[in-house]
Chains A and B, each alone.
Chain A
């Protein structure tokens, strides 16, 4: 086991290099650079940059150097002093910008994950056990609605109703008076009173697929002989379900941990933008659109590091949960 983990950890190093280089190239591939995009953005409000400024900006940001030189400078900064570079647009250190948003991102991601699992697991089991019952059909219908409504549309519709019909203050995770207040009980309650909307929207779309997966897994397991054996030995129906088929049916869930971690950052981009949530996702999109290279590059690097770590964790967990799986 230890050998396996060390081997995997060592493999991460070249993968991260490869991915970071690829990410850097991809971000630079579109025509123009940060300065062109910056000028174009200002032009959209009929605003003009001083003619002499554009060239000076390119020089200052090192955009006049070749891509390889820019990449090496960036990666050397990370390796030698943990410096992820400066965001062109904000002139703030990239790491600060990302960390600033991480706490709320984590809260939102965990809350919607728990909500999703709390809804999806019981319903999935129920649908499998009571196959083709009215309840199963009702849940199935609900899940397909959830699956087919784009979450951003749901968000917009809910926001419209809340804002126009009820005059509620929508968007953001805090009321104006708490926005920059220090953490307190009142601020926590304010956060909770607003968190449910994004959590519900995110959960609706992701429960659907999980319910279907759970139902299918359970249906695979339920007719198997070991279930019949257990039942014959007089185990109560509930204990039986929990003890045997559910554990095996959970395997696919554990595999999904691999992409749960990167989803912390890149998941729910559209919903976060529509609902105006101060999470990492909108910042990532902004950085990509503005060709703010170091900020975008740091994000991509972080996402792929999390993917690698996530898949390692899920492999280890799988081995622990299911003794049939061997790591060698």
Chain B
């Protein structure tokens, strides 16, 4: 699928966003939505009447953040049902609820918008960020949210060595953690040791949620600095140490306990009522009476009363719930190609429509030949660029696309997706043509011209050219099919390959030990080339699988791993430069130089452009954008603002 669609519909989206941004700016400047005129959910109004809750005007900021609903003003009520898996699925909740950082993404995943910070200043070299917080925001227990909370979260919590033995990568630049200072009650300054031009984008991703995660008045009770009796409390709670108690009470960005404590104050639209714990069969969240956003008519968000996350042990029972209409919005766990026909067939019965996801990935199947292989002969062969080019041209991509992806893709290598301003034609399309003769000639020329009786080429040491490609069938069944076809294609050019289906922990262990011949994985960087450039140079120790030792050298500043060639070092430098350039156009020019080198070196081989996923939305759930980016950095559907999703009767 091309991205022209989302880009062309981007016009309306931009207008929408301009609307949102404009409304925020307006409300800040003159107060278009005066809090007195705002409306609230009936059950909250009842609580106010009984005197159990302060009136709405006291709960909302004076100038609350205004969100323009996607389609129309919604009505209050309803329970939104969604499914979770039994284990390690806490991020399923995060994606729906926990997207309330200082800034947030726009719908196009191209720029950051004000959120809890109503505006910000960045200094010239992008090392200092001053955030002006939205005034009058309250935590879900009614306590004011101020600069003290942000300073506490970073200085006392995240930089505490007992809680975080190493500072999270996002707020650590040039080996030094950020310094956060309070300017006044609603102004905080973040100072980095060096330029960090990507900080705003990072702040909009889930891993950037730390500054607004910990309420000082609540979480300080679990820090020794603020609570001299903490040891006694730890004993009373039966915890083994204070950091354990802290995590159980206050959580962290992506651990189950974030959703395990109903009394923890939050800034999210909904708060936990029934927690996500080991024995839970569902997670129930109810509206936050102090949520600080309103719609364009001044109605307090969220519209939906409750979120009910059913916990399924098995994806099949989740599928059954979807096709019988018992799930309101779901894309997680069910969006495999194999499920699509079933879900399309049952649209009427389940009364739902399909949601299409634009992949943020570039490549459906990146093939990483281990260029730092422990076997010197294979290392030499894989390091030979002409061998990689020949192998790439030996693949019949059209056949793979037709058989495995129902014709829904196109031959591709890597790089920003077509339609992205940084799209790089050579990087994307070189050596994607199917040319067996050319491939054979190149392999002959590369010194692999002798063959054994079975027609398999012989390596310089006389062994047949054979290697295994690791793939995880439970995770990516389609990649197994792709590899089976590639195996047949390569057999025709005299290369013998084994499709090595393995369990996922083993896959990671083999990569970490540099014990693999080759591995496959979907290649990111299609919409988020700055956030995950693993296919453009040896960047990611668990991702750039063609040269893990080089990535270690890069991430450890040369202390570990293996020294990479000059072209890699040049790209490390260019990336660091791009990372510290605030101007997007200048950054693009630097990245183009980087892409030029990547295209020239051709380390990673791709099959086809990443195929879009899908999800289902019940027909009575409105205000849901039917096309969304699919990414961890844009943790769908969170940035589409579920607080303005609404049910029609």
Contact = CB atoms under 8 A, between A and B. Distances in A.
Contacts of A60: 165, 243
A156 B169 contact: no
Interface string A258-300: 0000000000000011111010001100100111000100000
Contacts of A295: 278
A276 B313 contact: yes
A50 B321 contact: no
A46 B359 CA distance: 11
A310 interface: no
Contacts of A171: 312, 317, 320-321
Contact of A282 (B86, B169, B361, B512): B86
B164 A56 contact: yes
A70 interface: no
A159 B254 contact: no
Given A40-B505, A89-B87, A90-B277, A51 B349 contact: no
Contact of B508 (A32, A172, A273, A289): A32
Interface stretch (A162-170, A236-244, A301-309): A162-170
Contact of B168 (A53, A160, A272): A53
Contacts of B240: 86
Contacts of B524: 46
Interface in B304-362: 308, 310-314, 316-317, 320-321, 323-324, 326, 332, 346, 349, 361
B316 A156 contact: yes
Contacts of B92: 45
A189 to B, nearest CB: 19
B207 A48 contact: yes
Contacts of B324: 163-164, 167
B87 A286 contact: yes
B632 A87 contact: no
Interface string A40-52: 1111111111111
B366 to A, nearest CB: 14
Nearest to B243: A60
Among B170, B313, B507, B555, the most chain A Cβ lie within 10 Å of the Cβ of: B313
A39 interface: yes
A33 B282 CA distance: 27
B314 A47 contact: no
A97 B87 CA distance: 13
B170 A50 contact: yes
B248 to A, nearest CB: 6
Interface in B508-538: 508-510, 512, 522, 524
Given A163-B321, A179-B281, A30 B506 contact: yes
Given A31-B509, A101-B279, A93 B238 contact: yes
B475 interface: yes
Given A42-B91, A274-B314, A37 B166 contact: no
B492 to A, nearest CB: 33
Contact of A289 (B87, B167, B509, B632): B87
Among A36, A47, A160, the most chain B Cβ lie within 10 Å of the Cβ of: A47
A59 interface: yes
Contacts of A282: 86, 313
Interface string A143-164: 0000000000000100110011
A47 B278 contact: no
A164 B167 contact: no
Contact of B166 (A41, A47, A55, A276): A55
Given A163-B321, A169-B326, A37 B505 contact: yes
Interface in B131-189: 164-170, 172
B207 A39 contact: no
Interface residues of A, number: 63
B247 interface: yes
Contacts of A180: 274, 284
A278 B279 contact: yes
Given A160-B320, A170-B320, A273-B314, A52 B167 contact: yes
A192 to B, nearest CB: 18
Contacts of B588: none
B349 A164 contact: yes
Contact of B632 (A47, A159, A163): A47
Chain B at the A interface: SS class: mixed
Contacts of B279: 97, 100-101, 278, 283
B517 to A, nearest CB: 17
A48 B508 CA distance: 14
B339 to A, nearest CB: 14
A36 B332 contact: no
Contacts of A174: 281
B317 A159 contact: yes
B255 interface: yes
B620 interface: no
Nearest to A166: B324
A167 B351 CA distance: 12
Contact of A56 (B166, B257, B542): B166
Contact of B505 (A51, A97, A291): A291
A253 interface: no
A159 B87 CA distance: 22
A275 B316 CA distance: 10
Contact of A45 (B91, B507, B509, B555): B91
Contacts of B167: 52
Interface in A81-109: 86-87, 89-93, 97, 100-101
Contact of A276 (B170, B312, B349): B312
B88 A41 contact: yes
A247 B637 CA distance: 64
A276 B317 contact: yes
Given A46-B632, A97-B279, A51 B314 contact: no
B244 interface: yes
A179 B507 CA distance: 39
Contact of B254 (A49, A164, A170): A49
Nearest to A52: B166
B541 interface: yes
Contacts of B312: 171, 276
Contacts of A283: 278-279
A36 B508 contact: yes
Nearest to A156: B316
A38 interface: yes
Contact of A32 (B86, B170, B505): B505
A170 B165 CA distance: 45
Contacts of B349: 164
B256 interface: yes
A56 B508 contact: no
Nearest to B524: A46
Given A32-B505, A164-B320, A179 B87 contact: no
Please name the 6 residue pairs, one residue from A and one from B, whose CB atoms are nearest each other, closest first: A32-B505, A100-B279, A90-B278, A52-B166, A40-B504, A163-B324
24 contacts: A36-B505, A36-B512, A40-B475, A40-B505, A42-B254, A44-B475, A47-B632, A48-B207, A56-B165, A60-B165, A90-B278, A91-B255, A93-B238, A100-B278, A159-B320, A163-B321, A172-B281, A180-B274, A274-B316, A275-B317, A276-B312, A276-B314, A282-B86, A291-B505
Given A38-B88, A50-B170, 16 more contacts: A30-B506, A31-B510, A45-B92, A46-B632, A60-B165, A89-B87, A91-B255, A92-B277, A92-B278, A169-B326, A171-B312, A176-B282, A180-B284, A278-B279, A283-B279, A286-B86
